[in-house]
Structure 1
């Protein structure tokens, strides 16, 4: 796993680095700043844009804050920006696009929250210091004055970056009480930046974790996804579990801490699952589009069915029979409650359901039919399933680990061979729906679907059939089912 993001090491060096980094944005930022200055307003580059510049991270979008009110911002960017939108204007934010860069310009804020939801009661402020103190973490409470490029850091954000620590500009209990989503944002930034949280922040997170229940599922899901897609998701998940946030968001994960896995080689199923997630991440490829949310969720949740299926067998051996079936149902339920898209829910649940099937392969005992079913059931998830199954080997027995990898190598080779011979990616019955209706003399309806599924099962079991064999098999099935078909009317017995 990569290390934490590179933090600045000194105040002077970092100040200079910030100015140099911001110069990359000079054409757009300076133009915008000059428009505001000419109108008598102040403009600052702020928040994540400044933080990421100091850390040497790319930041395609630019966030600004200003003493200008929203309607004044609209007038100043109108005619200069190539596009302007006001979807956030109720909260003082005007969006704009200029030469391929997205800009968000927000009036100084002095928000208060209603104490029930996370919805702020918007109040505009008059100073940059008042705006920065209401931000979530000191690392996000720095600004760069434009166009003079004066660095503004009233709450020690630069020092916090240098130490790799997340702290709040004000008392953390006040900050989290105003907006409980910040509890989860802390874990998300730990994942993204590799930082630690300040002791007082950890204490407040632990004490206030139940308040995260005030936040809508959609907002929680967005933060959880960003956490899982970060560079250090294990750190983020561990912080969630240790502070009790996971009890609110993903209670199935901390529930695994007390369950010893069946190999008795790991501290518990929880630790095993975190290791599997890390190993799955190591198998991700930039060619596949970078971080894979479905794979990471499946790796984290693949064993959540174990607590419910735990049984102590004779000889004190612990078993978890059918935990993949139970786990798939649990994963589907939890992800639906978190409002994940339907495809993400079904893909993760299917990977959890299938992750244990390989263990019946042994030393290659599967028939070609079993291999076809494995590929067909995985469908477009096959490559992810390969990565998940390989990652699920965390045994400390090097000989056993090597044997498992060799066995899976053999399975993949067989899949490749059969796929080349039979085009497994598009396994379909040897007769389509039209041919079935014509041969059986039946109209469209459920009976066609039943016949289609039977022929697909035959295709998986026996491999491709030629046309005569497929037709004979369909007639044989129809006769067994008592279905009068064109081929059986008049006492004609189907052949084959």
Structure 2
């Protein structure tokens, strides 16, 4: 540990000496200590102290490059010093009462009492500053070696104090690849309903971190198995009951997890939250649209449209940003569009419309469509892949020829008004849509041909003499 800690020691020791000089304790704590042992040292540190927040502000006032107090109501003062971001939190304990959605913060007086209220033993380790005394009263280092998540005290008391810790267990299982102690899993199962007291924003943050972790399948599986998903993401466990129309998978739930994993495998620059959420939720409309057909088949007609509405509703209730909600819902709506054109040759018009509909999500739509192929029939999978390869090649060719990304009518609003001899109004919008459809169907015609087509359309509509 000495070698691992050496990198952060200068800044930590400097700050520890500063606090000691003012008669206060300071320690590196929690995830920062855990990550040192995991070799994941970044430029941010979590620290804890016996000094109250107002006193922390006085101590760091002349030392820090900048200070922020957005978390001061919860005892946290943020500090930037050089390239380091430091969060200094007063020793504390926090708990919910039966009717509150926000934790009540109570300050503590000792490092040991602060560690006792931590979520898991691997996060209940500390290093006192500036002397580097390692403090591990709950066996966090042994748990780290065993890759297990165990609460410092009884899991029932821990989850009663802060129900969000049940979601953190799933999140850490995803991020770290750890298993959860059976006693904690049992408590999560028994206390799943307690999660409803937690605010949507805090639940969203944990779910999002889990989805963007290294192995979200493990975390999602834990949520479903314990019953927590029924309270925070109820659409997911409902998929377990739905057998897909080709009987290719155990259920749609398993299919969705495979699609998520296959989408992740296509990421090129780190976690893509929009792609991952769309992959997980792409089939959530199936339970509502299931129909039994002749011959024992099951259909899910228009499940993409229903699913898009459901995804929008769920993510909105979880307080996701509007752009994330819109993008995920749109991908869910479009995820079957490729299959709607069959396996035959795509017309240029169909390709243009596919690009237009995909818009700024086109690259993600490519990845989601490819990820959605989970058939075990290798020949069929290869045929689908080849067909999509051909589609992407067609898109690239037309993009070069016609600037598909800038696709719009060849006449703008002013030119439409001039050609038709009209002023602003709803007719201009109808004419614009006609010209856009013409552009999609025929490609680039040139302004003269577009104007002639517009005039012919106007005559058919009875808009000219």
Corresponding residue for residue 354 of structure 1: 334
Instruction: Report SS of the residue matched to 1:348.
Output: helix
- Counterpart pick for 1:138 among 121, 127, 131: 121
Q: Identify which of 237, 242, 250 aligns with 1:254.
A: 237
The superposition leaves residues 257-294 of structure 1 with CA deviations (integer Å, 9 ceiling, x where unpaired) of: 111112211101100000000000000002xxx10001
Could you list the per-position Cα deviations for residues 344-368 of structure 1 after superposition, in whole angstroms to 9, with x for gaps in the alignment? 1111111111111211333333211
- Would you say how many aligned residue pairs link Structure 1 and Structure 2? 465
Q: What corresponds to 1:66 in structure 2? A: 49
Q: Does 1:278 align with 2:261?
A: yes
User: CA 1:59 to 1:241, structure 2 compared with 1: closer, same or farther past 3 Å?
Assistant: same
Aligned pair partner of 1:459 in 435, 439, 459: 439
Q: Does 1:76 align with 2:85?
A: no
2:199 matched residue in structure 1: 216
Question: How far did 1:112 drift?
Answer: 4.0
User: Is the deviation greater in 68-77 or in 465-474?
Assistant: 68-77
Structure 2 Cα separation of the partners of residues 42 and 232 of structure 1: 37
CA deviation after TM superposition for structure 1 residue 242, in Å = 0.6
Matching residue of 2:37: 54
What's the CA shift for 1:424?
0.7
Shift of 1:119: 2.6
Q: Does 1:389 align with 2:369?
A: yes
Partner of 1:120: 103
Give 1:428's aligned residue. 408
Query: Which among 249, 269, 288 is matched to residue 308 of structure 1?
Result: 288
Instruction: Give TM-score, length-normalised by structure 2.
Output: 0.97
User: Scaled by the length of structure 1, what TM-score is found?
Assistant: 0.91
Aligned mates of 1:110, 1:394 — CA distance in 2:
47
Q: Give CA deviations for 1:448-492 in whole Å, capped at 9, x if unaligned.
A: 2111111001110111111111111111122222224xxx4xxxx
- For residues 98 and 198 of structure 1, what CA distance do their matches in structure 2 show? 38
5 Å-filtered alignment, 1:477-488, equals 477-484=457-464, 488=465
Rounded to whole Å, the distance in 1 between the matches of 2:378 and 2:140 is 46
Partner residue in 2 for 1:377: 357
Distance 1:161 1:118, change over 3 A: farther
Structure 2 contact 252–283 (Cα < 8 Å) conserved:
yes
Q: CA deviation at 1:339?
A: 1.3
Contact 1:118 1:178 in 2 (8 A): no
Residue 417 of structure 1 is matched in structure 2 by 397
Output the CA distance in 2 between the equivalents of 1:204 and 1:116.
20
**Which residue is 1:154 aligned to?**
137
Could you tell me how far apart the structure 2 residues matched to 1:87 and 1:310 are? 48
Runs in 1 of length 4+ with deviation above 4 angstroms?
Answer: none
Cα 1:412/1:110, change in 2 over 3 Å: closer
Distance 1:112 1:360 in 2: 52
Give the aligned partner of residue 162 of structure 2.
Answer: 179
Q: Write the mapping of 1:428-447 to structure 2, written as runs, cut at 5 A.
A: 428-447=408-427
Matched with 1:293 is 273
2:176 counterpart (159, 175, 193): 193
In structure 2, the gaps of 5 or more residues are none
Residues in 2 aligned to 1:310 and 1:352: alpha-carbon distance in whole angstroms: 17
Deviations 1:155-183 (A, max 9, x none): 11111111111111111111111111111
Shift of 1:23: 1.5
Kindly report which structure 2 residues correspond to 1:325-336, keeping only aligned pairs within 5 A, or say none.
325-336=305-316
Q: Which runs of 5+ in 1 are unaligned?
A: 1-16, 489-496
| CA distance in structure 2 between the aligned counterparts of 1:156 and 1:134, rounded to whole angstroms | 14
- SS of the equivalent of 2:79 reads strand
Q: Which of these residues, 23, 28, 31, is aligned with residue 6 of structure 2?
A: 23
Paired position in structure 2 for 1:11: none
Provide the alpha-carbon RMSD of the alignment: 1.3
Matched position secondary structure for 1:303: coil
For 1:375 and 1:91, locate their aligned partners in 2 and report how far apart those are by CA, in whole Å.
48
Contact 2:204 2:320 (C-alpha < 8 Å) held by counterparts: yes
Alpha-carbon distance in 2 for matches of 1:438, 1:296: 47
Secondary structure at the counterpart of residue 35 of structure 2: helix
Select between 424-433 and 327-336 the one with higher mean Cα deviation: 327-336
CA drift at 1:118: 4.4
* Deviations 1:18-56, CA, capped at 9 Å, x for gaps: x32221112211110111112222110001110111111
Partner residue of 1:494?
none
